Amino acid sequence: MPAPSRTFTLRHVQLSRAVLAAVAALMITFSPDHSAAVGLSVFSGFAISTSLVMILAAVIVHPAGQRWPAITSGALSFVAGMVASVPAIRSVGLFFGVVIAWAALTGLVELIAGLRRRGSEDARDAIVTGSLGLLLAVVMLLVPIGFAQDYSPQPGVVFTVTGIVLAVGFFGGYAAIVAVFQGIAGLTPSARKAAQTDAGIDRLADHGGHA
What's the pLDDT tens digit per position in 106-132? 999 999 999 988 877 678 888 999 999
Please state the φ and ψ torsions of residue 157, each to the nearest 5 degrees.
-120, 120
Asked, for residue 91, whether it belongs to a domain, the answer is: yes
**Domain count along the chain:** 1
Asked, for residue 196, whether it belongs to a domain, the answer is: yes
Instruction: Provide the 10 A C-beta neighbour count for residue 47.
Output: 27
Low-confidence spans in the chain with pLDDT less than 70: 1-8, 121, 152-154, 156-159, 189-211
- The whole-number pLDDT of residue 203 equals 39
Asked, for residue 184, whether it belongs to a domain, the answer is: yes
Asked, for residue 1, whether it belongs to a domain, the answer is: no
pLDDT tens sequence across 185-204: 888 765 545 444 444 334 33
Asked, for residue 173, whether it belongs to a domain, the answer is: yes
Asked, for residue 54, whether it belongs to a domain, the answer is: yes
Predicted TM-score (pTM) of the model is: 0.83
How far from 210 is each of 3, 32, 86, 197, CA to CA, in Å? Answer: 10, 60, 52, 20
DSSP class of residue 121?
T
Asked, for residue 38, whether it belongs to a domain, the answer is: yes
Beta bridge partners of 149: 161
Beta bridge partners of 162: 148
Residues of 56-83 as b/e, b for ≥16 C-beta within 10 angstroms? bbbeebbeeeebebbbbbbbbbbbbbeb
Q: Report how far Cα 23 is from the mean position of its chain's Cα atoms.
A: 11
Dist CA 18 CA 205 (whole Å): 31
195 near 11, Cβ under 8 Å?
yes
Asked, for residue 68, whether it belongs to a domain, the answer is: yes
Range of the domain at 50: 10-210
Q: In terms of C-beta density within 10 A (0-12 exposed, 13-18 middle, 19 or more buried), how is residue 54 classed?
A: buried
